[in-house]
Structure 1
Amino acid sequence: MTKNATEVHSKAGPLARYYQAREAGELREDPVQEQVMMRLQELYTALDGYEEKFEPGKGANGFLSRVLGRGKTSDFPKGYYIYGDVGRGKSMIMDLFFEEAPVRAKRRVHFHAFMLEIHAAIHEWRYMSAEDRIAKWDTDKDDPIPPLGRKVAHESRLLCFDEFQVTDVTDAMLLGRLFGELMKLGVVIVLTSNRVPEDLYIGGLNRELFLPTIAMLREKMNVIALDGPTDYRLERMKGMPTYYYPLGEEATQALSEAFWRLTDHDVADRSKVGPDVLDVKGRKLTIPVADRGVAVVSFKKMCGAALGAADYLQIAWHYHTVIMVGIPKLGPNNRNEAKRFVTFIDALYENNVKFLCCAEVPPEDLYEEGHGHFEFQRTVSRLMEMQSQEYLAKGHAV
């Protein structure tokens, strides 16, 4: 252990957790990761007592006075924009920081899910009367961004975004104003991305209108690279089969070993591996086993229940790897389940989620004949492609 590690080890915060994981053999020594963790430890220290200092109703030095312009936004801690190639540990670092961050009103959310919420709120705004806007949003102005920013700021003093990217012109036009409003209100933003800020929305429609947002990210956030030489995710999956058949103890054991390789935890150790509860449009979706971006689900629970694209997208955005057990042979007799499985695989494939599974038969025999067979062939093709090294090397949700 380095001298810095020794000094920090007994203290609280994400850096101490990082060193503990390294000592336990869950992480290997990585100087680039360590430097990023040191920077996040500094933010952890700056956030200690932050909510109380800027709590509404604290008088001249309080949050409201700063919002109203009687304080300096430079007093707010700067957030972080952490970028780097796939598999360098960005999500792991974000997890450690978020779990330790000394903030009660904090939220970690996939950027796609957050933007869906923002668009839904703006859609609702457009159809509200002036009276309803005053009652619900406390404003008579015809601009939803300031009240929406206040709402987000009230709910979360710390926002952590994983897999940040901009691919939609509407998001591109909205982001600058929304992030600017949140930062003005003292919301601390930490995000990870596979792209350096200057490469966001590259080649996009009217990209020149997005350039001020890139400049704002550079000015208002600490931009740091996590660019070590090792793709840990791909290295852990090297040589690992992803599709096991037939069903049975051998396949189950193989997937248990795969979970161990990906997370350093035993799939049966419930003190370490979940469950997770995802929010899907106000509904709760329970993932029974999850750890370090890896989820374990059953075909019966995912495709036998009344779930749909919104549920599967939340899973695809939240986890970089999904392990599914118990996939039966499909056909007209269980066509509803087969249709849900098609939607499930589409959501994973379109977000570059790694998929490991055990099934009764190989992919090409999953739906051999009967009504629905032809439509299922695209899913067979995707299941085959998802086993390739080229697919496994892709970045999550890129």
Structure 2
Amino acid sequence: MVNGRGRHADGYDRAVDTTGTETTDPAPIPPDDTLLSAVESAAADAGFTLEPEQLEAARRLASLRIGEDRPGHLYLWGAAGRGKTWLLDAFFEALPTHRRRRVHFHSFFRGLHAAIHRVRTEAADAARATGEPGAGSRAAAGAVTNAVEQAVDELLDEVDVVLFDEFQVHDPGDGALMIRLLDALFARQVTLLTSSNSAPQDLLPDPAHHHIFEPGIALIEANMQVLELAGSTDHRRSSPVRHGDGFARGSWSIAGESADAHLAALGLHRPGPGEATTLTISGHTFQAAAARDGVLWFASAELIERPTSVGDYLAWAADDGRWVLDALPESHALTREARARFVHLVDALCDLGVELHVVAATDQETFMTDPALGPEGFARDAVRTRSRLALLREIH
């Protein structure tokens, strides 16, 4: 029940319900017909017609203020495979400006963490050189703010629109940094577009840490139009997959002679014992079965049962564009942490367009829905993972 409405500084109307929660409605600006037509034409060129929910999202996008005072922002969320990234990309490409930047969540935060480390080290070294007691640690602490400000400056340099794809917050440290980033972003005259599988209030869902990101949720809800892209169809799983691009060149096969034959036909020959390679990253070492000719071959016990991170996957993917995840057991045999890492691995490699070949003990569906996992299921965000795995060719 709506019991009040008012105009805020960002130009949007607010509908306030009886719980006191504000929801952001779009300002009554008619959509830009040229932009809307461009998105509809892109859909027609791709062989489909926008569904009603997708068309409404396209209208919201085409109605945003861009390159003006008090620019509009849109947080587009919904279940996996509903077309969020496609819509934002189509709109982004249709914008009549080159003052725009597309950023992926994982890649941006990897760069941000590297910048924080660099600025902290430089600040601490310079402060220690003064000989003042405690100067190094004080300087290092202040470097986080400097690094975030520097990252925002670089991100927003000469742009009117930033597209932040696959917005998600699972790590409390990243959540704290994202609050600083959002605060800085909304202070600039730049339109922010984001896609996410989660509603704002579901970000950083772990109850032990959720309170850390509540200020970030408040920033999103106060400054952005929040729109759910609904729909009952996961288009990744229901549409014919073209196995020719990026991640979709990969495969999922059940361990055995046929799996080895399939991989060998792709030039991916099972490594011999002498090909084992030690990879060092962030002071940690990991054993790859092979790292050769742009191919990285890992046993699952080494890649997801060990404490690897998204940053590790991004760094390795910069050098190796074809991956084999070998000896993946039934999902109930994995630890909870390993299942979470599997989700992050699929996210990172899919978003980067890395070709992934999985050799597993069972088929995809059984792996993701194993009843032996119990009521907690595979992992958080498993629906998105199943949607992305559907892009891989299953070899029987």
Which TM class, normalised by the smaller chain length? 0.5 to 0.7
Q: How far off is 1:389 after superposition?
A: 8.2
Match of 2:114 among 117, 120, 127: 120
Q: Is the 8 A contact 1:82 1:226 kept in 2?
A: yes
Q: Is the 8 A contact 2:31 2:59 kept in 1?
A: no
Change (3 A) 1:203 1:328: closer
Q: Is the 8 A contact 2:39 2:91 kept in 1?
A: no
Change (3 A) 1:147 1:380: closer
Whichever residue aligns with residue 98 of structure 1, its letter is F
Whichever residue aligns with residue 165 of structure 1, its letter is Q
Change (3 A) 1:32 1:172: same
Match of 2:52 among 28, 31, 40: 31
2:160 matched residue in structure 1: 157
Counterpart Cα distance in 1 of 2:31 and 2:187: 32
Query: What secondary structure is seen at the aligned counterpart in 2 of 1:77?
Result: coil
**How many residues end up aligned between the 2 structures?**
263
2:72 matched residue in structure 1: 78
Q: How far off is 1:94 after superposition?
A: 1.4
Q: How far off is 1:345 after superposition?
A: 4.1
Q: Which runs of 5+ in 1 are unaligned?
A: 1-6, 54-74, 134-140, 238-257, 261-266, 268-288, 299-322, 364-378
Q: Is the 8 A contact 1:21 1:27 kept in 2?
A: no
Q: Is the 8 A contact 2:40 2:49 kept in 1?
A: no
Q: Is the 8 A contact 1:107 1:158 kept in 2?
A: yes
Match of 1:107 among 97, 101, 104: 101
Whichever residue aligns with residue 231 of structure 1, its letter is D
1:62 matched residue in structure 2: none
Change (3 A) 1:29 1:181: closer
Q: Is the 8 A contact 2:78 2:229 kept in 1?
A: yes
Counterpart Cα distance in 2 of 1:166 and 1:115: 11
| 1:341 equivalent in alignment to 2:297 | yes
Q: Which runs of 5+ in 2 are unaligned?
A: 1-29, 128-141, 252-262, 277-287, 291-295, 304-322, 326-340, 370-380, 390-396
Partner deviation per Cα, 1:281-338 (whole Å, 9 max, x = no partner): xxxxxxxx55xxx55479xxxxxxxxxxxxxxxxxxxxxxxx9971444141783595
Counterpart Cα distance in 2 of 1:29 and 1:389: 33
Change (3 A) 1:220 1:349: closer
Partner deviation per Cα, 1:96-124 (whole Å, 9 max, x = no partner): 01212233232212211111111111111
Q: How far off is 1:341 after superposition?
A: 2.4
Whichever residue aligns with residue 168 of structure 1, its letter is D
1:376 matched residue in structure 2: none
Counterpart Cα distance in 2 of 1:163 and 1:330: 34
TM-score (norm 2): 0.56
Query: What secondary structure is seen at the aligned counterpart in 2 of 1:108?
Result: strand
Counterpart Cα distance in 2 of 1:94 and 1:226: 12
| 1:183 equivalent in alignment to 2:186 | yes
Q: Is the 8 A contact 2:77 2:229 kept in 1?
A: yes
Q: CA RMSD in A?
A: 4.1
Q: How far off is 1:380 after superposition?
A: 3.1
Q: Which has the higher strand share?
A: 2
Q: Is the 8 A contact 1:167 1:204 kept in 2?
A: no
Partner deviation per Cα, 1:125-171 (whole Å, 9 max, x = no partner): 111249989xxxxxxx7531334433322254322122111011111
Q: Is the 8 A contact 1:32 1:226 kept in 2?
A: yes
Partner deviation per Cα, 1:334-391 (whole Å, 9 max, x = no partner): 8359532226345876443699x999xxx9xxxxxxxxxxxxxxx6327x44465847
Whichever residue aligns with residue 55 of structure 2, its letter is E
Q: Which has the higher helix share?
A: 1
1:169 matched residue in structure 2: 172
2:242 matched residue in structure 1: 259
Residues 8-157 of structure 1 mapped to structure 2, 5 A cutoff = 12-13=34-35, 15-24=36-45, 26-43=47-64, 46-47=65-66, 50=67, 75-129=69-123, 143-144=145-146, 145-154=148-157, 156-157=159-160
Q: Is the 8 A contact 1:296 1:324 kept in 2?
A: no
1:367 matched residue in structure 2: none
**Identical counterparts, % of pairs:** 26
Change (3 A) 1:345 1:221: farther
Counterpart Cα distance in 1 of 2:175 and 2:355: 40
Query: What secondary structure is seen at the aligned counterpart in 2 of 1:189?
Result: strand
